[in-house]
Amino acid sequence: MSDLHFSVSIGINDYPAFDDLHHAVRDAEEFHDWVRHPQGGNVPDANAKLMSGPDSLPDDWNSLSARPRLDEVLHHLNDFRKQVEEAVRRDPDAWNRTRLYLFCSGHGIAPDADDAALLLANSDRENIGYNLPCAEVREWFQQAQSFQELLFFADCCRERIPGTPDSWLPWPRREGHNGQVRWLLGCATYFGDYAHEERREDVSPDERRGYFTRALIDGLRGAAADKFTRRVTAHRLADYVQRRVLHATAYRMRPQRPTMPSAENFDICQVDQVRLARFTVTLVFPDDYQGRVELVKDRDVETVQVNSDADREQSITLEEGIYQALSVDPSEGGDPFKRDGGKFLVVKEGQRVEL
């Protein structure tokens, strides 16, 4: 049990002033389940807070009575900060075991190009400042150095609203002296774009999620893990989530493109066992290409031979995950696989991959 790891998960479906969402609360519940699981975040129940609206809306449901509110979220974050700082005061070495998770799902805006802000339930068009700016909160904790690691995820739109006031936090700025802070900030979509919820007919409504949350949880549960070390790192998770969401939303006029910057690479979790599905996919090689191709995934290598135009499309069964196609004997013109450096994601049966 990670006694100095803490988590706040927020999911908001119902807004008095905005269109209701369908899956934001379930997004937060699923992250809350993962973060407390022994093979997940391993956060003690007492250190994990789930915040969502009421199960049934009261008759006086309006911007004054709507929950959760910004002050409630900040209260829980501040309470966890006080707990961890007291533990570090008693034992300075304990700082190396500290981590804060923040997960948000609901309507959102982008205060600036580097931020994603969750709109709290009591926000409206005239009170758009009732938002939780994830990047600003991360910067505050990074400067205060209350926690060694910060993992923040925002499954919300990053709409640009003219006239949005500067984000604010009621806490005074603090300069910490504990050490280098590691952080990862996962935003569901690109600056100015929308984040979407699944509409899959083959999945029951209760099982649908936001595209970003679906990819995030699957990645944390092992799809983004190294097959041999079983570790999920910040960089592996970011690569997996970005590719998975882009692939899942490729049918849209504007596919959803997550951004997941981090301060450095670090271990997030280690899964008990990496269980990956296998799918038969079709690889499409460039015109006139001939030669041997290695498909590299972690330390696994699959080899494909292209001898003629008849071999330009080949079916092969591969494990789910991210691969890189490498030409064993590249021509003088360089590596022939120009699209994303030969990297591709295997995620479903019958997938067509153009290299």
Mean pLDDT of 43-58: 86
110 contacts 143 by C-beta, under 8 angstroms: no
**Domains identified in the chain, total number:** 2
Task: Report residue 2's pLDDT band, with 50, 70 and 90 as the boundaries.
Answer: confident
CATH number at residue 185: 3.40.50.1460
321 shares its domain with 232: no
187 contacts 157 by C-beta, under 8 angstroms: no
Instruction: Identify the top-confidence range among 176-180, 198-202, 304-308.
Output: 176-180
Whole-angstrom Cα distance, residue 125 to residue 315? 52
pTM, whole model, 2 decimals?
Answer: 0.88
253 shares its domain with 291: no
Which residues are CB-neighbours of 235 under 8 A, at least 6 positions away? Answer: 262, 265
Mean pLDDT of 56-70: 76
94 shares its domain with 185: yes
130 shares its domain with 28: yes
- E strand or H helix that includes residue 119: strand 117-119
256 shares its domain with 290: no
Nearest Cα neighbor of 132 from 150, 149, 115 is 115
List of long-range contacts for 251-256, beta carbons under 8 Å, 24+ apart: 252/196, 254/193, 254/194, 256/188, 256/189, 256/190, 256/193, 256/194, 256/195, 256/196, 256/211, 256/212
User: Which pLDDT does position 193 carry in this prediction?
Assistant: 93
- E strand or H helix that includes residue 217: helix 211-218
Measure CA of the first residue to CA of the last residue in the chain; give whole Å. 44
225 shares its domain with 291: no
13 shares its domain with 128: yes
Q: What is the mean pLDDT of the chain?
A: 89
User: Which pLDDT does position 230 carry in this prediction?
Assistant: 93
- Tell which of 243, 270, 297 closes a domain: 270
Strand, helix or coil for residue 99: strand
189 shares its domain with 239: yes
- Tell which of 270, 286, 306 closes a domain: 270
111 contacts 137 by C-beta, under 8 angstroms: no
166 shares its domain with 284: no
| Cα torsion through 284, 260, 69, 149, rounded to 10 | 140
297 contacts 321 by C-beta, under 8 angstroms: yes
Is the pLDDT score of 355 beyond 90? no
306 shares its domain with 264: no
Nearest Cα neighbor of 327 from 338, 317, 316 is 338
166 shares its domain with 310: no
Whole-angstrom Cα distance, residue 325 to residue 265? 24
Residue with tokens 């290598």: 301
Distances in whole angstroms, Cα of residue 36 to Cα of each of 2, 104, 105:
10, 16, 18
Is the pLDDT score of 333 beyond 60? no
Q: H-type helices in 7-158, by residue range?
A: 24-36, 70-90, 134-144
63 shares its domain with 112: yes
Mean pLDDT of 128-150: 95
pLDDT tens profile 80-101: 999 999 999 999 999 999 999 9
- Tell which of 248, 270, 292 closes a domain: 270
User: Which pLDDT does position 204 carry in this prediction?
Assistant: 56
CATH number at residue 304: 2.60.40.1120
Q: Which domain holds residue 304?
A: 278-354
Task: Report residue 1's pLDDT band, with 50, 70 and 90 as the boundaries.
Answer: low
User: Which pLDDT does position 263 carry in this prediction?
Assistant: 87
Mean pLDDT of 300-307: 88
Whole-angstrom Cα distance, residue 129 to residue 109? 10
How many CB atoms neighbour CB 282 within 10 A? 13
